[in-house]
Amino acid sequence: MRVNGINYRTIWMKDSSVFMIDQHLLPFEFKIYEARTYKDSCNAIKSMRIRGAGAIGAIAGFAMAQSFMEAPKNNFRKFIEKAKLEIESTRPTARNLFYATERVFNYAIKSENPILSAIFEAQKISDEDADASRKIGEFGNDLIKDGFKIETHCNAGWLAFVDFGTALSPIYFAHQSGKNIFIYVDETRPRNQGAKLTAWELQNEGIPHKIIPDNAGAYLMSQRKIDMMIVGADRIAVNGDVANKIGTLEKAICSKEFDIPFYIAAPISSFDLNCRSGKEINIEVRNENEVLYQTGLNEKGNLQKILVCSPCSRAFNPAFDVTPAEYITGFITEKGIIKPEKNEILKLFACS
């Protein structure tokens, strides 16, 4: 992704620090944040300075590598095991996080040079994420026809992964291949990842789009103004149920009602073969202040946080919901497009 004429990945590691695009400040300011220790990386995940399934997986892998570099010689394994649990406690729903910590830990702990092995494996996970996202874009492009109007939810674009993204990757490839497309961007309350991040990405790529209220999707579908929906995923159960940003379930139900294709774009690392159905997915509940307060630019051009709800009222803030497989048209993966069925999902892993 190019920003101000420079190619960036969302996240990368240099020496012992992890660098990332600070998503707290977008779209108003583009800035790089440095996490010097694994605890800094944990805080970046918790605070959603970095977010999105693939990006969380990448930083989790890098954080594991940081813990190997920071571990004292006389208490090495105990330090690493404690760090692993701490990293995994930051965001419980995203499968990619656990996928990365498990891979780095298991690969490096058995190595003769665990520090170098941890760095190597973390970088490999990051590179694989970017490659998978690119392939998802290539496969997904085949589903998009010239003139399509596509609705998205949350941000499953470049910022949510190391590069390219998942739900937005087919859109980028379609645009680059010359197709005339238009994107309706769900604002995605309460953190407005659609209005802030997806819209910023599309604007940066010169792709025509409009931001819409979350509750406008059904109306647009009823008016036949949506040709397909593409969203991402934070965890996919072996039966095809999907955990994704809160509000995804509503969009899937509406899509089925109006016979609109509803696709999930996700890499294999988001599939959890140990999770039998969506009922087993741990849904993260975040701080109520994300609902009660909003942050934006004031008239002086400064970022300001203000209360936007009734004073003294409380809020409930689940970060994700689960969409049953029956509402999903198909999964766009780096291995191709498959149906949301257990046997199809198992085939993915058999040939990977």
At 352 the pLDDT is 61
Q: CA dist 324 to 143, 247, 327, Å?
A: 22, 13, 6
Q: Which of 28, 325, 348, 332 is nearest to 150 (CA)?
A: 332
At 6 the pLDDT is 85
Burial class, 167, CB count within 10 angstroms (exposed 0-12 / middle 13-18 / buried 19+) = buried
**What 8-state DSSP symbol labels residue 164?**
S
CA distance 41 to 13: 11
Q: CA dist 216 to 10, 182, 191, 247, 290, Å?
A: 30, 16, 17, 12, 21
Q: Domain extents for the chain?
A: 2-133, 145-350
Domain 145-350 CATH assignment equals 3.40.1390.30: no
Burial class, 306, CB count within 10 angstroms (exposed 0-12 / middle 13-18 / buried 19+) = exposed
Spell out the CATH class of 2-133: mainly alpha
Burial class, 310, CB count within 10 angstroms (exposed 0-12 / middle 13-18 / buried 19+) = exposed
Q: Which of 224, 270, 336 is nearest to 93 (CA)?
A: 270
CA distance 30 to 74: 41
Under a CB-based contact definition with an 8 Å cutoff, are residues 103 and 125 in contact? yes
Cα-based angle 309, 291, 218 (whole degrees, multiple of 5): 95
At 93 the pLDDT is 86
**What 8-state DSSP symbol labels residue 259?**
T
At 301 the pLDDT is 87
Per-residue confidence in pLDDT tens, the chain, 352 aa: 778 888 899 999 999 999 999 999 999 999 999 999 999 999 999 999 999 999 999 999 999 999 999 999 999 999 999 999 999 999 988 899 999 999 999 999 999 999 999 999 999 999 999 999 999 999 999 999 999 999 999 999 999 999 999 999 999 999 999 999 999 999 999 999 999 999 999 999 999 999 999 999 999 999 999 999 999 999 999 999 999 999 999 999 999 999 999 999 999 999 999 999 999 999 999 999 999 999 999 888 888 999 999 999 999 999 999 999 999 999 999 999 999 999 999 998 886 6
Burial class, 39, CB count within 10 angstroms (exposed 0-12 / middle 13-18 / buried 19+) = middle
- Is the pTM higher than 0.75? The answer reads yes
The pair of structure tokens assigned to 135 is 């392939």
CA distance 1 to 23: 15
**What 8-state DSSP symbol labels residue 147?**
T
Q: At what angle do helices 53-70 and 38-46 cross, to 10 degrees?
A: 160
CA distance 333 to 323: 18
At 344 the pLDDT is 94
CA distance 9 to 190: 26
Q: What is the residue whose two structure tokens read 């159905």?
A: 277
At 304 the pLDDT is 93
Q: Which residues pair with 13 in a beta bridge?
A: 18
Out of 234, 241, 272, 321, pick the active-site residue.
Answer: 234
Has 234 been annotated as catalytic?
Answer: yes
Which residues does 47 contact at the CB level (< 8 Å), separation at least 6?
24
One-character DSSP codes across 260-299: --EEEE--GGGEETT--SGGG----B--THHHHEEEEE-T
Q: Which residues pair with 294 in a beta bridge?
A: 306
CA distance 104 to 106: 6
